[in-house]
A = this chain, B = another copy of it.
Amino acid sequence: SDSQDLDLAILDSVMGQLDASRIRENLRELSKEPHVATSPRDEALVQLLLGRWKDSATGLDSAKTSEYTVLLSYPSAEQPNSVEVVDPSGGLLVYANRGSEEDFKHLEAQRIKLEGTIALTRYGGVGRGAKAINAAKHGVVGVLVYTDPGDINDGKNSPSETFPNSWGLPPSGVERGSYFEYFGDPLTPYLPAHPSSFRLDLNNISGFPPIPTQPIGFEDAKDLLCNLTGPSAPGSWQGALGCEYKLGPGFEPNGSFPADSEVKVSVHNRLELRTSSNVLGIIQGAVEPDRYVIYGNHRDSWVHGAVDPSSGTAVLLEISRVLGTLLKKGAWRPRRTIILASWGAEEFGLIGSTEFTEEFLSKLQERTVAYINVDISVFSNATLRAQGTPPAQSVIFSATKEISAPGSSGLSIYDNWIRYTNRTSPVYGLVPKLGTLGAGSDYASFVHFLGITSMDLAYTYDQSKTSARIYPTYHTAFDTFDYVEKFLDPDFSSHQAVARTAGSVLLRLSDSLFLPLNVSDYSETLQSFLQAAQDDLGTLLEKQNISLGPLVTAVEKFKTAAAALVQHILTLQKSSPKVRMVNDQLMLLERAFLNPRAFPDERYYSHVLWAPNTASVATFPGLANACARAQEINSGPEAWAEVQRQLSIVVTALEGAAATLAPVADL
């Protein structure tokens, strides 16, 4: 019927059927072999997914693949990449901490000549690509990146203390990763990468590291770093390799290498056009087939990728099996359409998902209720970790309150979560803390480019028990099924907990008559951004005669309109034709925050609330960044004009958003 609503019996049944041992078997199969993007095994997994989703007893209504021709960077089989310590013919080695701009400035302040050097940096702090960009600015000609055991292993660095003897990263483990600065196929920004599409000139593309960059394990890093000469590195630069870190340049006279040795970084990666596949499956909505709930994860790994991404895909497949079974039995069909997706080439820069959003931009923007991402489903087994835009908070809370946490606590996932990560909301009091979405996985183009309410769900470790940046074998050859089974989630109960959470969120979004997106939860975000602007930028702006008054008014308008809409919804009958109208207001709110002209230098980023904020004030990103730039020495009046422009962009977006929440026939 038109007023079909969430059926709690079906929801219960789905929760009950999601099976830990099936997730385990999915994971065993998915991670059996390395399956880097476009490799034969990646293509074999495409067929595996397609088979599952087309299964006559457990599959979906339909499924298909969709191919894009994309630019990927692969090591050369004939000319392997190498790092060598050689007679003078490379560059003197320096230690540059995390490779941030401040790190290189510090080296220069120590009178260390960076021109022509090779910089050894450790993972963390700034992104991979940024290390090379920063380094090149200072004349560095090559970059090494290693994982310090202090950052990943709580200091443990001997083979006896690391995998397979603990979850720690072994000394030989090398963290791979994309060094591409943007996301999407590098040659086809804003266009789907079909064979015939316009492509940028390969010799003229931006976003790739300007100098050779190579990741190494901490075993090799130790050889290099513990032999450096020069002044001592500051305390905050020290790590757990078991020696005092020095800055270089070059090696000390009596160490393992001749004192005049240099380091040569040879990277022979080749950029190649390859065909990468997405797999898409669909369950057609019974009442509102033109409203989409999209749930996806990438498929490609760096090596075996048991955790990243197969732990997510194993969950995705178990959810599709349970829903598919209900569907094929005729026991259930969702109110709205569900689209399941297995994205290709995420590890090379979120490519499959980005190309998909480019290809179906209008259709997706008009019709998508929300995007759910489960990439790594289990970092470890302590607590839920959720990231998302504010309208996603309510449905995640509702779902997790009804599901038992793994283990023997007897708590709900929600009650367990709140013990690990919480905040005090001015509206609700103490609640679990939802993180914000950067560009770390396939949700990026959905939220930043299309303005679709998005979220990312996982189980993770207790941050009070380890300072690990991420699970230790992340992006290494040690991310295997054995690793998961021994150290992350032996009984797969955390996988099951994520399957239940994602499954419940998915069903609530696809089946609830009223969309469970609480738009008034955006009011807290706006208020906190406003508060930060007033507290940390108010005086500065006043001096420039820039008033935050219009922003205060706009935030107030938004809060009032959102609260009134929430009240209005409570008065509606289930059978009212107005239900779809308010649902459209809820679904489309996030779109009102898009402005494709706000950040002309940021590829894809159009969401005026969630674009990268590289400044120190936790406020509207355009405002924060513009203020930071205006305060630099040498900044001129144009920089203050840009502050004004960014302020007007936010005010216009907030007022426009408030107008979409106001009664629909108000002038």
Binding site for B on A (CB under 8 A): 2, 61-64, 190-192, 194, 196-198, 201, 280-282, 284-285, 287-290, 337, 339, 358-363, 366-367, 547, 549-550, 577, 580-581, 584-585, 588, 591-592, 595-597, 641, 644-645, 647-649, 651-652, 655-657, 659-660, 664-665, 667
Contact A289 B362, CB 8 Å, known A641-B198, A645-B198: no
Q: How far is the CA of A196 from the CA of B282 in the complex (A)?
A: 48
Measured CB to CB, the nearest residue on chain B to A63 is: B667
Task: Report yes or no: B581 in contact with A665, Cβ–Cβ below 8 A.
Answer: no
Q: How far is the CA of A647 from the CA of B197 in the complex (A)?
A: 8
Task: Report yes or no: A641 in contact with B190, Cβ–Cβ below 8 A.
Answer: no
Task: Report yes or no: A290 in contact with B191, Cβ–Cβ below 8 A.
Answer: no
Q: How many copies does the complex hold?
A: 2
Task: Report yes or no: A665 in contact with B337, Cβ–Cβ below 8 A.
Answer: yes
Minimum CB–CB distance from A207 to chain B (whole Å) comes to 17
**A597 contacts which chain B residues (CB < 8 A)?**
190, 596
Contact for A649 among B63, B191, B641, B648, CB less than 8 A: B191
Q: How far is the CA of A72 from the CA of B657 in the complex (A)?
A: 29
Contact for A192 among B337, B361, B652, CB less than 8 A: B652
Measured CB to CB, the nearest residue on chain B to A652 is: B191
**A649 contacts which chain B residues (CB < 8 A)?**
191, 198
Task: Report yes or no: B198 in contact with A665, Cβ–Cβ below 8 A.
Answer: no
Measured CB to CB, the nearest residue on chain B to A287 is: B577
Task: Report yes or no: A362 in contact with B659, Cβ–Cβ below 8 A.
Answer: yes
Task: Report yes or no: B282 in contact with A659, Cβ–Cβ below 8 A.
Answer: no
Contact for A659 among B62, B190, B360, B584, CB less than 8 A: B360
Task: Report yes or no: B198 in contact with A647, Cβ–Cβ below 8 A.
Answer: yes
Q: How far is the CA of A641 from the CA of B649 in the complex (A)?
A: 32
A-B contact pairs, 28 of them (CB 8 A): A62-B667, A63-B667, A191-B645, A191-B649, A191-B652, A192-B652, A196-B549, A196-B651, A197-B652, A280-B667, A287-B577, A288-B577, A289-B664, A290-B585, A337-B664, A337-B665, A358-B652, A359-B652, A359-B655, A359-B656, A360-B659, A361-B656, A362-B591, A362-B659, A363-B592, A363-B660, A366-B588, A366-B591
Task: Report yes or no: A289 in contact with B641, Cβ–Cβ below 8 A.
Answer: no
Measured CB to CB, the nearest residue on chain B to A587 is: B366
Measured CB to CB, the nearest residue on chain B to A646 is: B198
Minimum CB–CB distance from A663 to chain B (whole Å) comes to 8
The 7 closest A-B CB pairs, nearest first, are: A290-B664, A198-B648, A362-B592, A284-B665, A289-B665, A196-B550, A198-B644
Minimum CB–CB distance from A472 to chain B (whole Å) comes to 39
Q: How far is the CA of A649 from the CA of B188 in the complex (A)?
A: 11
Q: How far is the CA of A580 from the CA of B652 in the complex (A)?
A: 30
Q: How far is the CA of A285 from the CA of B360 in the complex (A)?
A: 31
Task: Report yes or no: A664 in contact with B367, Cβ–Cβ below 8 A.
Answer: yes
**A660 contacts which chain B residues (CB < 8 A)?**
362-363, 366
Contact A289 B581, CB 8 Å, known A201-B641, A366-B591, A597-B596: yes
Q: How far is the CA of A282 from the CA of B591 in the complex (A)?
A: 25
**A657 contacts which chain B residues (CB < 8 A)?**
362
Task: Report yes or no: A290 in contact with B592, Cβ–Cβ below 8 A.
Answer: no
**A289 contacts which chain B residues (CB < 8 A)?**
581, 664-665
**A359 contacts which chain B residues (CB < 8 A)?**
652, 655-656, 659
**A360 contacts which chain B residues (CB < 8 A)?**
656, 659
Q: How far is the CA of A581 from the CA of B288 in the complex (A)?
A: 8
Contact A64 B362, CB 8 Å, known A198-B644, A581-B290, A596-B596: no
Known: A191-B649, A290-B665. 14 other contacts (CB 8 A): A2-B577, A190-B595, A191-B645, A191-B648, A191-B652, A196-B550, A197-B651, A198-B644, A198-B645, A282-B667, A290-B584, A337-B664, A359-B656, A363-B660
Minimum CB–CB distance from A369 to chain B (whole Å) comes to 13
Q: How far is the CA of A584 from the CA of B547 in the complex (A)?
A: 41
Q: How far is the CA of A653 from the CA of B644 in the complex (A)?
A: 34
**A367 contacts which chain B residues (CB < 8 A)?**
664
Task: Report yes or no: A656 in contact with B196, Cβ–Cβ below 8 A.
Answer: no
Contact A197 B648, CB 8 Å, known A289-B664, A361-B656, A659-B360: yes
Q: Which of A280, A282, A665 has the most CB of B within 10 A?
A: A665
Q: How far is the CA of A659 from the CA of B201 in the complex (A)?
A: 29
Q: How far is the CA of A219 from the CA of B202 in the complex (A)?
A: 62
Task: Report yes or no: A366 in contact with B584, Cβ–Cβ below 8 A.
Answer: yes
Minimum CB–CB distance from A592 to chain B (whole Å) comes to 4
Minimum CB–CB distance from A584 to chain B (whole Å) comes to 7
Measured CB to CB, the nearest residue on chain B to A649 is: B191
Q: How far is the CA of A284 from the CA of B591 in the complex (A)?
A: 24
Measured CB to CB, the nearest residue on chain B to A281 is: B667
Task: Report yes or no: A196 in contact with B667, Cβ–Cβ below 8 A.
Answer: no
**A366 contacts which chain B residues (CB < 8 A)?**
584, 588, 591, 660
Q: Which of A196, A288, A361 has the most CB of B within 10 A?
A: A196
Q: How far is the CA of A289 from the CA of B363 in the complex (A)?
A: 23
Q: How far is the CA of A287 from the CA of B622 in the complex (A)?
A: 40
**A361 contacts which chain B residues (CB < 8 A)?**
656
